[in-house]
Structure 1
Amino acid sequence: MFTLFVTVKIKEGRRDEFIAATKGDAEGSNTKEPGCMRFDVLADNNDPNTFYLYEVYENRDAWETAHRGMPHYTAWREAVGDFFDGDLQRVEATTVFRREDFA
């Protein structure tokens, strides 16, 4: 599995718009992408303008090709493109253990 942790800092005053646009991307990822196993959006408890995306895909290709080519992703990028306060920070990881491994 291929996993991403993405940190997104947004400009002051764009929080509600960011959440609305990101909900569409998360919903599309979770319901319309066969290679997407999980797409969670988290808000930082100490900074209302920082969000974390936790994304799990079957493999890197499911993220690079399928996810990035989906209409919900391109709509999200267009909607939030000027909301970012700096560059997105991305950590790529490979799953070692999952909850299901201990069931």
Structure 2
Amino acid sequence: MDDGMRGGFFAVNVKPEHRQSFLNASIFQAQSVVSEEAEVFQFQIMADMANPNRFYFYEVFRDEAAVQGHWDSQAFKNWLSTVQTMLDGEIEIIARMRSLFPTTKGFEAQKPGLLQW
């Protein structure tokens, strides 16, 4: 049985004067994570339509070890160090999840498409 991938849904508020710098750092981080961390299968950044300074992150990892590996990675630590003073409050963990669809094979098949930005 497929135990599913592990997902996370997070939100951050950014100080208005740091919006573009935050986006630059976060998009660079997302591209690095997707291309360099083999166990990452989704990494999406979305802006709130009602609040342009609120951003959501949706991430999917193979398993809990991959999640922990990401959090322990130098890339994540560098990103957090870069954006920490740009944030207006703490990182909000909205949900930790287990995927039901697509299956693990489905996520694996989609991964190459993530590298086409």
Q: Distance in 2 between matches of 1:33 and 1:61?
A: 12
How many angstroms does 1:71 deviate by? Answer: 2.8
Which of 9, 12, 16 in structure 1 is aligned with 2:13? 9
Q: Which has the higher helix share?
A: 2
Q: TM-score, normalised by structure 1?
A: 0.89
Deviation per CA, 1:34-93: give whole Å up to 9, x if none.
Answer: 1111111111111110000010000111011x2123232121111101111112111101
Q: Secondary structure at the match of 1:85?
A: coil
Q: Secondary structure at the match of 2:16?
A: coil
Q: Distance in 2 between matches of 1:87 and 1:77?
A: 11
Greater than 4 Å deviation, 4+ residue runs:
none
Q: How does 1:31-46 map to 2 (within 5 A)?
A: 31-46=35-50
2:113 aligns with none
| Residue 78 of structure 2 corresponds to residue 75 of structure 1 | yes
User: What are structure 2's unaligned runs of at least 5 residues?
Assistant: 108-117
Corresponding pairs, count:
100
Q: Distance in 2 between matches of 1:63 and 1:7?
A: 17
Q: TM-score, normalised by structure 2?
A: 0.79
User: What are structure 1's unaligned runs of at least 5 residues?
Assistant: none
Q: Distance in 2 between matches of 1:75 and 1:23?
A: 13
Q: Distance in 1 between matches of 2:78 and 2:70?
A: 12
2:28 aligns with 24
RMSD: 1.6
Q: Which amino acid aligns with 1:71?
A: Q
| Contact 1:11–1:84 (8 Å) recurs in 2 | yes
Q: Secondary structure at the match of 2:88?
A: coil
Q: Secondary structure at the match of 2:17?
A: coil
